[in-house]
């Protein structure tokens, strides 16, 4: 078991739920069980995020089978954005009030309810069940999206927290990737209505059964927090929790923080564009490559894995090791802009082979911007609780995701695909330039360094 140098700390807030006596001296430790926690966390994030692109990735099949407009199919994905924007404030308050285990149980339970409902949506007149089921999954996702940074800082040491956050976010991205891969192979365009209905039913079972198993795993093995805190910054946060700071006061403080607002703008819009790309990619790709449903499923899988999995872990490790947040942010958004141009050209020039490379490379940079935004936001807003700062980041991401989806689809319908691509590229450039105005005032890192210096002096 890895152990940090111990230091007596006066703190009454950090105690297990079964321990009625306050603790007066806290020894900091990093437990091996944190990796079990991380694995379980990734399990229930994977199964939830598989729902996001479940129907939009096969939008052309769904519109034909249910006899609905493409905009209604888009809602099956956009509902995740809308629900988050509506509920993130009250749910963030509840997350601060209750522990991580309660959050995980509620999140996974709601996902299970949603997936069970969608088992019965295989009939052509039951599209409404898709929207109801997706809504339950979306509410569960609000809980889930608000805690990766809180989970990482609760269980992992100061020198691994960015990597841990990246690994926690990895589950969300892997889930979205698998959600893009399975539907095109389970529900195929050329089949009869009966076969499509059976495919939708089988897809519902494929999602619901593992969700039930993961729900039981969360109940039995997921823990609220370690017995002792893993870092000095975490100790300080716990000490402050004795004063019971007001949740909405923290929100007001964040909105007065210039660096935080710049992060909201630059990374919120960038990640919002990436999310909207997931919604419209089927329509965009099928326009140039008819019968390319399976192609875009595979390409989306590789793009999300490239950025959401490998990219997030790579940038998280770089941030942990070098702490070059501003330079990393600028570099990632610069390459997001460049690779978007390459991707757009490969699609408009109808080079199917090229899209297998350009879209994943674009995803490598753009999808991985999420973990940078989380960690950068925590650094410039410390000691504001993690769930509060990251919840606002997510809300802005989803708000712009909704706006971007309708703007991009509107431009494609009215002015053509080139106009839509110009809009996206111009937006990327503006966001990239904005990162130059964010400071390098890393408050969380300074707190850890100051505590280490004080301990060494003693």
Largest CA distance in the chain: 76
Q: Partners of 3 in the beta sheet? A: 29
Beta-carbon count within 10 A of 369 CB = 27
Q: How many CA atoms, within 13 angstroms, populate the side-chain half-sphere of residue 58? A: 25
Q: Compute φ and ψ for 148, nearest 5 degrees.
A: -55, -45
Q: Is the pLDDT of residue 457 over 70?
A: no
Predicted confidence (pLDDT) per residue in 141-170, tens digit: 998 887 887 888 888 887 787 788 778 877
pLDDT score for 450: 63
The encoded tokens of residue 88 equal 């993130």
Q: Is the pLDDT of residue 432 over 70?
A: yes
Give how far the C-alpha of residue 278 lies from the chain's centroid of Cα atoms, to the nearest Å.
Answer: 13
Q: How confident is the model at residue 334 (pLDDT cuts 50, 70, 90)?
A: very high
Q: Is the pLDDT of residue 23 over 70?
A: no
In 3-state terms, what secondary structure has residue 245?
Answer: coil
pLDDT score for 43: 93
Q: Is the pLDDT of residue 306 over 90?
A: no
Domain boundaries, the chain: 33-232+246-453
Predicted confidence (pLDDT) per residue in 212-270, tens digit: 999 999 999 999 888 887 777 666 665 555 455 577 788 888 889 999 999 999 999 99
| Distance between CA atoms of residues 315 and 160, nearest Å | 12
Q: How confident is the model at residue 392 (pLDDT cuts 50, 70, 90)?
A: confident
Q: Compute φ and ψ for 273, nearest 5 degrees.
A: -65, -40
* 8 A C-beta contact, residue 35 and residue 258: no
CATH of 33-232+246-453, one of 3.30.300.30, 1.20.1250.20, 3.40.50.300, 3.20.20.70: 1.20.1250.20
Buried-state track 260-282, b at ≥16 Cβ within 10 A, e below 16: bbbbbbbbbbbbbbbbbbbbbbb
| Distance between CA atoms of residues 381 and 401, nearest Å | 24
Q: Is the pLDDT of residue 211 over 90?
A: yes
Q: Is the pLDDT of residue 24 over 90?
A: no
Sign of dihedral through CA atoms 219, 45, 63, 399? positive
In 3-state terms, what secondary structure has residue 29?
Answer: strand
Q: Is the pLDDT of residue 22 over 70?
A: no
Give the C-alpha distances (Å, rounded to integers) separating 334 from 176, 325, 362, 365, 420.
24, 14, 11, 9, 19
Q: How confident is the model at residue 15 (pLDDT cuts 50, 70, 90)?
A: very low
Mean pLDDT value of segment 194-221: 94
pLDDT score for 323: 84
- Per 3-state DSSP, the chain is made up of helix, strand and coil in percentages (nearest 5) of 75, 0, 20
Query: Which helix (DSSP H) or strand (DSSP E) does residue 43 occupy?
Result: helix 33-49
Lowest mean pLDDT among 49-58, 293-302, 412-421, 437-446: 437-446
| Distance between CA atoms of residues 220 and 214, nearest Å | 10
Q: Is the pLDDT of residue 452 over 90?
A: no
Query: Peptide bond before 383: cis, by omega within 30 degrees of 0?
Result: yes
Q: Is the pLDDT of residue 347 over 90?
A: yes
| Distance between CA atoms of residues 398 and 82, nearest Å | 7
| Distance between CA atoms of residues 288 and 298, nearest Å | 16
Better pLDDT: 321 or 79? 79
Mean pLDDT value of segment 174-200: 87
Predicted confidence (pLDDT) per residue in 83-131, tens digit: 999 998 888 778 778 888 999 999 999 999 999 999 999 999 999 999 9
């Amino acid at each position: 078991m890895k152990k940090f140098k111990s230091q007596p700390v006066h703190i009454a807030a950090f105690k297990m739920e079964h321990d009625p006596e306050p603790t007066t001296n806290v020894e900091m430790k990093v437990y091996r069980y944190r990796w079990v926690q991380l694995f379980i966390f990734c399990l229930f994030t994977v199964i939830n995020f598989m729902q996001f692109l479940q129907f939009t990735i096969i939008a052309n099949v769904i519109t034909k089978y249910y006899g609905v407009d493409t905009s209604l199919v888009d809602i099956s994905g956009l509902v995740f954005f809308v629900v988050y924007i509506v509920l993130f404030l009250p749910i963030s308050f509840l997350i601060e009030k209750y522990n991580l285990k309660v959050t995980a149980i509620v999140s996974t339970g709601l996902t299970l309810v949603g997936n069970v409902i969608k088992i019965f949506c295989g009939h052509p007149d039951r599209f409404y069940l898709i929207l109801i089921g997706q809504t339950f999954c979306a509410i569960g996702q609000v809980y889930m999206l608000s805690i990766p940074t809180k989970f990482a800082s609760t269980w992992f040491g100061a020198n691994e927290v960015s990597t841990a956050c990246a690994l926690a976010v990895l589950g969300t991205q892997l889930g979205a990737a698998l959600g893009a891969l399975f539907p095109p192979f389970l529900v195929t365009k050329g089949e009869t209505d009966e076969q499509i209905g059976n495919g939708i039913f089988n897809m519902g079972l494929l999602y619901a059964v593992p969700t039930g198993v993961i729900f039981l795993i969360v109940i039995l093995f997921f823990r609220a927090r370690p017995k002792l805190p893993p870092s000095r910054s975490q100790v300080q946060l716990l000490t402050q929790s004795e004063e019971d700071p007001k949740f909405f006061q923290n929100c007001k403080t964040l909105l007065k923080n210039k660096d935080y607002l710049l992060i909201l703008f630059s990374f919120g819009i960038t990640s919002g564009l990436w999310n909207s790309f997931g919604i419209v990619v089927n329509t965009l790709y099928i326009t140039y490559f008819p019968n390319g449903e399976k192609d875009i499923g595979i390409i989306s899988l590789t793009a999300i894995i490239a950025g959401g999995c490998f990219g997030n872990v790579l940038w998280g490790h770089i941030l942990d090791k070098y702490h070059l947040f501003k330079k990393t942010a600028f570099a990632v958004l610069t390459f997001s802009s460049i690779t978007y141009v390459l991707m757009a050209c490969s699609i408009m020039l109808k080079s199917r082979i090229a899209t297998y490379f350009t879209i994943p490379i674009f995803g490598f940079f753009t999808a991985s911007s999420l973990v940078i935004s989380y960690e950068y936001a925590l650094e410039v807003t410390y000691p504001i609780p993690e769930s509060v700062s990251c919840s606002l980041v997510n809300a802005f991401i989803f708000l712009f995701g909704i706006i971007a989806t309708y703007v991009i689809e509107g431009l494609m319908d009215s002015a053509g695909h080139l106009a839509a691509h110009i809009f996206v590229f111009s937006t990327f450039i503006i966001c990239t330039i904005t990162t130059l105005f964010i400071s390098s005032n890393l408050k969380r890192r300074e707190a850890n360094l100051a505590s280490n210096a004080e301990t060494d002096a003693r």
